[in-house]
Structures are given as C-alpha cells and as structure tokens.
Amino acid sequence: MPPERRQQALDAQRACSLPIPPLGDPGAMHKFFLEQIQQGELALSMGSIEEGVQHFAVAVTVCGQPTQLLQVLQQSLSPSVFTMLIEALPSVRNQIFGMSTLRTSGVKEIEEDLE
C-alpha cells in the first residue's frame, strides 16, 4: 500500500472514532461542527496538515450547507491543502455515514452537494 493511501486509511479510521452527536440534537451538532473547524485550524497552524484536513472533512460532512463551507475553505486554504480536503471527503463521508447515528434524510442532500 502506498504511504499516502496508508495515511488516508489511518485518517479515515481516526475520523470513524469521533464521538458524533445525534442529528436530532441541533445544538450538539452545531457545537461538534464548530469544534471540528477549530481543531482543523489549530492543527494546520501547528503544521499537522493531514490532521487539519481530516477535521475540516468531518466539518464539511456534518455541515448543513457543505457547498458554502467548501467555497469558504477553498478561499482560505492553500490549493494543495484544499485538494487534500476534497480527496479526503469520500472516505470520511463513508466512515461517518456508516454510523447509525447519522442515518437521516439529510444524508442524501449532503451527498448530492458533494458530488
């Protein structure tokens, strides 16, 4: 397995272990979303690019308006980091949506926005 694939697999596994709150609790989801954005920013500022990308990918995945968030991130991240984010989204999305707590009708809408 190439090193970058191995890293993506490890990152996806890490994303899977996140304590995702239930979608029925908008306050908890909003707090979780903000935490992911903050942790992504912190990781990038400390040079942990892969970790930051994973946090941003989780934030995009649970965001109610992922297209708008991606537009903001595209303007604020370097092109290489944004490309890493786009590449990480499918595996993070699959890991998160594999969790039963996120199985709702909103999932289809988010998936369509990301395609």
Q: Is residue 113 part of a domain?
A: no
CATH number at residue 81: 1.20.960.10
Q: Is residue 115 part of a domain?
A: no
Cβ atoms 52, 81 nearer than 8 A: yes
How high is the pLDDT of residue 19? 77
pLDDT in tens, 52-70: 999 999 999 999 899 999 9
How many domains is the chain built from? 1
pTM for this model (two decimals): 0.71
DSSP-derived secondary structure letter, 105: T
Q: Is residue 17 part of a domain?
A: yes
Q: Which domain holds residue 89?
A: 3-108
Q: Is residue 51 part of a domain?
A: yes
